[in-house]
Protein backbone atom coordinates (compact mmCIF):
# COMPACT_ATOMS: atom_id res chain seq x y z
CA UNK A 1 0.00 0.00 0.00
CA UNK A 2 1.03 3.61 -0.53
CA UNK A 3 1.00 4.95 2.99
CA UNK A 4 -0.40 8.40 3.73
CA UNK A 5 1.70 10.09 6.39
CA UNK A 6 0.49 13.21 8.19
CA UNK A 7 2.97 15.31 10.15
CA UNK A 8 1.43 17.56 12.79
CA UNK A 9 3.54 20.48 13.93
CA UNK A 10 2.69 21.58 17.46
CA UNK A 11 4.87 24.66 17.63
CA UNK A 12 3.26 28.06 17.26
CA UNK A 13 6.62 29.60 16.29
CA UNK A 14 7.39 30.43 12.69
CA UNK A 15 10.29 28.33 11.30
CA UNK A 16 10.20 26.25 14.46
CA UNK A 17 12.85 23.59 14.92
CA UNK A 18 10.26 20.89 15.52
CA UNK A 19 8.49 21.87 12.30
CA UNK A 20 11.79 21.83 10.42
CA UNK A 21 12.47 18.29 11.66
CA UNK A 22 9.03 17.24 10.46
CA UNK A 23 9.61 18.73 6.99
CA UNK A 24 12.92 16.87 6.63
CA UNK A 25 11.35 13.59 7.79
CA UNK A 26 8.47 13.97 5.33
CA UNK A 27 10.93 14.41 2.45
CA UNK A 28 12.61 11.12 3.41
CA UNK A 29 9.23 9.42 3.77
CA UNK A 30 8.37 10.46 0.19
CA UNK A 31 11.64 8.87 -0.99
CA UNK A 32 10.30 5.65 0.54
CA UNK A 33 7.06 5.96 -1.40
CA UNK A 34 4.77 7.70 1.11
CA UNK A 35 2.24 10.38 0.30
CA UNK A 36 2.72 13.16 2.83
CA UNK A 37 0.99 16.18 4.27
CA UNK A 38 1.95 18.73 6.90
CA UNK A 39 -0.60 20.16 9.33
CA UNK A 40 0.73 23.28 11.03
CA UNK A 41 -1.32 24.01 14.12
CA UNK A 42 -0.24 27.66 14.14
CA UNK A 43 -1.92 28.10 10.76
CA UNK A 44 -5.29 26.51 11.50
CA UNK A 45 -5.79 28.04 14.93
CA UNK A 46 -7.99 25.33 16.47
CA UNK A 47 -10.50 26.35 19.12
CA UNK A 48 -9.86 25.07 22.63
CA UNK A 49 -11.48 21.66 22.79
CA UNK A 50 -14.85 21.74 24.54
CA UNK A 51 -16.78 18.44 24.70
CA UNK A 52 -20.04 20.37 24.99
CA UNK A 53 -19.50 22.15 21.68
CA UNK A 54 -19.63 20.94 18.09
CA UNK A 55 -17.01 23.17 16.48
CA UNK A 56 -17.26 21.63 13.01
CA UNK A 57 -18.18 25.03 11.58
CA UNK A 58 -14.61 26.06 12.44
CA UNK A 59 -12.61 26.03 9.21
CA UNK A 60 -9.38 24.97 10.95
CA UNK A 61 -11.07 22.05 12.67
CA UNK A 62 -12.55 20.89 9.37
CA UNK A 63 -9.08 21.01 7.78
CA UNK A 64 -7.56 19.07 10.69
CA UNK A 65 -10.32 16.44 10.75
CA UNK A 66 -10.10 15.84 7.01
CA UNK A 67 -6.32 15.39 7.32
CA UNK A 68 -6.61 13.07 10.35
CA UNK A 69 -9.13 10.85 8.52
CA UNK A 70 -6.90 10.84 5.42
CA UNK A 71 -3.82 9.68 7.35
CA UNK A 72 -2.64 6.09 7.72
CA UNK A 73 0.21 7.12 10.04
CA UNK A 74 1.33 10.22 11.93
CA UNK A 75 4.46 12.09 12.80
CA UNK A 76 3.89 14.33 15.83
CA UNK A 77 6.39 17.20 16.11
CA UNK A 78 6.37 19.22 19.30
CA UNK A 79 8.55 21.65 21.19
CA UNK A 80 9.46 20.70 24.75
CA UNK A 81 7.37 22.92 27.02
CA UNK A 82 7.90 22.21 30.71
CA UNK A 83 8.94 18.66 29.89
CA UNK A 84 5.77 17.94 27.96
CA UNK A 85 4.18 18.58 24.57
CA UNK A 86 2.96 22.06 23.67
CA UNK A 87 -0.58 23.05 24.65
CA UNK A 88 -1.38 23.35 20.94
CA UNK A 89 -0.43 19.70 20.38
CA UNK A 90 -2.39 18.44 23.38
CA UNK A 91 -5.41 20.46 22.31
CA UNK A 92 -5.18 18.94 18.82
CA UNK A 93 -5.03 15.41 20.25
CA UNK A 94 -8.06 16.07 22.46
CA UNK A 95 -10.32 16.36 19.41
CA UNK A 96 -9.71 12.77 18.26
CA UNK A 97 -9.51 9.23 19.59
CA UNK A 98 -11.10 6.51 17.40
CA UNK A 99 -9.35 8.10 14.40
CA UNK A 100 -5.99 7.09 15.89
CA UNK A 101 -6.73 3.39 16.39
CA UNK A 102 -4.68 1.01 14.26
CA UNK A 103 -2.34 3.76 13.06
CA UNK A 104 1.37 4.13 13.77
CA UNK A 105 2.82 7.30 15.32
CA UNK A 106 6.38 8.62 15.36
CA UNK A 107 7.64 11.53 17.45
CA UNK A 108 10.13 14.36 16.96
CA UNK A 109 10.85 17.00 19.58
CA UNK A 110 12.75 20.26 19.77
CA UNK A 111 14.23 20.40 23.24
CA UNK A 112 17.21 21.75 25.16
CA UNK A 113 17.36 18.37 26.83
CA UNK A 114 16.50 15.06 25.16
CA UNK A 115 12.76 15.51 24.91
CA UNK A 116 12.17 12.04 26.36
CA UNK A 117 9.33 13.05 28.68
CA UNK A 118 7.70 14.96 25.82
CA UNK A 119 7.71 11.84 23.65
CA UNK A 120 6.52 9.78 26.58
CA UNK A 121 3.52 12.07 27.14
CA UNK A 122 2.57 12.03 23.46
CA UNK A 123 3.02 8.25 23.39
CA UNK A 124 0.73 7.88 26.42
CA UNK A 125 -2.01 10.00 24.83
CA UNK A 126 -1.78 7.99 21.61
CA UNK A 127 -1.79 4.65 23.42
CA UNK A 128 -4.91 5.73 25.29
CA UNK A 129 -6.59 5.99 21.85
CA UNK A 130 -5.30 2.56 20.70
CA UNK A 131 -2.69 4.10 18.43
CA UNK A 132 0.67 2.34 17.97
CA UNK A 133 4.01 4.06 18.53
CA UNK A 134 7.53 3.64 17.25
CA UNK A 135 9.67 2.65 20.23
CA UNK A 136 12.09 5.54 19.70
CA UNK A 137 11.94 9.17 18.60
CA UNK A 138 14.26 11.97 17.54
CA UNK A 139 15.02 15.12 19.46
CA UNK A 140 17.00 18.14 18.38
CA UNK A 141 18.61 21.01 20.23
CA UNK A 142 17.74 23.63 17.66
CA UNK A 143 20.40 26.21 18.41
CA UNK A 144 23.18 23.57 18.45
CA UNK A 145 22.04 21.13 15.77
CA UNK A 146 20.86 23.53 13.06
CA UNK A 147 23.05 26.07 11.28
CA UNK A 148 22.29 28.49 8.45
CA UNK A 149 22.34 25.62 5.94
CA UNK A 150 19.88 23.46 7.90
CA UNK A 151 20.24 20.36 10.08
CA UNK A 152 23.97 20.16 10.73
CA UNK A 153 24.20 17.30 13.22
CA UNK A 154 24.83 14.10 11.19
CA UNK A 155 23.71 11.81 14.02
CA UNK A 156 20.35 13.53 14.33
CA UNK A 157 20.01 13.54 10.54
CA UNK A 158 20.71 9.80 10.40
CA UNK A 159 18.21 9.03 13.17
CA UNK A 160 15.62 11.16 11.41
CA UNK A 161 16.10 9.23 8.16
CA UNK A 162 15.71 5.98 10.11
CA UNK A 163 12.54 7.22 11.80
CA UNK A 164 10.98 8.34 8.51
CA UNK A 165 11.80 5.01 6.87
CA UNK A 166 10.45 3.01 9.81
CA UNK A 167 7.24 5.04 9.91
CA UNK A 168 6.61 4.23 6.25
CA UNK A 169 7.49 0.53 6.49
CA UNK A 170 5.99 -0.35 9.89
CA UNK A 171 3.15 2.13 9.42
CA UNK A 172 2.00 0.25 6.33
CA UNK A 173 2.16 -3.08 8.18
CA UNK A 174 0.11 -1.86 11.16
CA UNK A 175 -2.48 -0.07 9.06
CA UNK A 176 -2.71 -2.90 6.51
CA UNK A 177 -3.31 -5.50 9.21
CA UNK A 178 -5.88 -3.31 10.99
CA UNK A 179 -7.84 -2.77 7.78
CA UNK A 180 -7.64 -6.48 6.98
CA UNK A 181 -8.95 -7.37 10.45
CA UNK A 182 -11.80 -4.90 10.02
CA UNK A 183 -12.69 -6.26 6.59
CA UNK A 184 -12.41 -9.95 7.50
CA UNK A 185 -14.64 -9.75 10.56
CA UNK A 186 -11.94 -11.03 12.92
CA UNK A 187 -13.46 -10.85 16.41
CA UNK A 188 -10.53 -11.55 18.69
CA UNK A 189 -8.67 -8.36 17.89
CA UNK A 190 -8.89 -4.86 19.29
CA UNK A 191 -9.87 -3.76 15.79
CA UNK A 192 -13.26 -5.44 16.28
CA UNK A 193 -14.56 -2.56 18.38
CA UNK A 194 -14.02 -0.12 15.49
CA UNK A 195 -16.25 -2.01 13.06
C1 LIG B 1 7.01 27.94 27.62
C2 LIG B 1 8.29 27.22 27.31
C3 LIG B 1 8.67 26.14 28.07
C4 LIG B 1 9.86 25.45 27.79
N5 LIG B 1 10.22 24.39 28.55
C6 LIG B 1 11.32 23.69 28.24
C7 LIG B 1 11.70 22.56 29.01
O8 LIG B 1 11.03 22.18 29.98
N9 LIG B 1 12.79 21.86 28.64
C10 LIG B 1 13.56 22.24 27.57
O11 LIG B 1 14.53 21.57 27.28
N12 LIG B 1 13.23 23.31 26.81
C13 LIG B 1 12.15 24.05 27.13
N14 LIG B 1 11.81 25.13 26.38
C15 LIG B 1 12.63 25.48 25.20
C16 LIG B 1 12.01 24.96 23.91
O17 LIG B 1 11.73 23.58 23.99
C18 LIG B 1 12.96 25.19 22.74
O19 LIG B 1 13.14 26.58 22.58
C20 LIG B 1 12.50 24.55 21.45
O21 LIG B 1 13.50 24.67 20.50
C22 LIG B 1 11.24 25.18 20.92
O23 LIG B 1 10.78 24.41 19.83
P24 LIG B 1 10.27 25.02 18.46
O25 LIG B 1 11.46 25.70 17.80
O26 LIG B 1 9.80 23.82 17.70
O27 LIG B 1 9.18 25.99 18.78
C28 LIG B 1 10.66 25.87 26.69
C29 LIG B 1 10.26 26.96 25.91
C30 LIG B 1 9.09 27.64 26.21
C31 LIG B 1 8.68 28.81 25.34
Long-range contacts of 31-36 (CB under 8 A, 24+ apart): 32/164, 32/165, 32/168, 32/169, 33/2, 33/3, 33/168, 34/2, 34/3, 34/4, 34/5, 34/167, 34/168, 35/2, 35/3, 35/4, 35/5, 36/4, 36/5, 36/6, 36/7
Residue 191 pLDDT: 87
Contact yes or no for 71/4 (Cβ under 8 A): yes
Our mutation pick for probing the ligand 1 site, out of 10, 14, 112, counting the most ligand atoms within 8 A of Cβ, is: 112
The separation between CA 84 and the C-alpha centre of its own chain, rounded to angstroms, equals 15
Residue 1 pLDDT: 87
Q: Residue 42 Cα, ligand 1 centroid: separation in angstroms?
A: 16
Residue 157 pLDDT: 98
Ligand 1, atom 29, lies closest to the CA of 81
- Concatenating the DSSP letter of every residue in 65-130 gives HHHHHH-SEEEEEEE-BTTB--HHHHHHHHT-SGGGTT-EEEEEEE-SS--HHHHHHHHHHHHHTT
Can you tell me whether residue 183 is helix, strand or coil?
A: helix
Residue 82 pLDDT: 98
Angstrom distances, CA of residue 43 to CA of 12, 14, 39, 40, 160: 8, 10, 8, 6, 24
Residue 195 pLDDT: 81
Atom of ligand 1 nearest to the CA of 80: 17
Atom of ligand 1 nearest to the CA of 9: 26
The verdict on the CB of residue 79 being under 6 Å from ligand 1 is: yes
DSSP state at residue 188:
S
What are the 10-residue block averages of pLDDT along the chain, 195 residues in total? 97 97 98 98 97 94 98 98 98 97 98 97 97 98 97 98 98 97 91 85
The helix (H) or strand (E) run that includes residue 144 is helix 142-145
Residue 33 pLDDT: 98
Atom of ligand 1 nearest to the CA of 82: 8
C-alpha to C-alpha distance for 184 and 191, rounded to whole angstroms = 11
Residue 147 pLDDT: 97
The verdict on the CB of residue 111 being under 6 Å from ligand 1 is: yes
Amino acid sequence: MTIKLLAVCGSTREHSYSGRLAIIALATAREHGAETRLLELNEINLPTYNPDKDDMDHEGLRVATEAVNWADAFLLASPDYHGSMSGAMKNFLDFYWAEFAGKLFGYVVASHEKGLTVMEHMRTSVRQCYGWSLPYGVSVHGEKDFDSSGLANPQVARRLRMLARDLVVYGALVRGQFQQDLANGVTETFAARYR
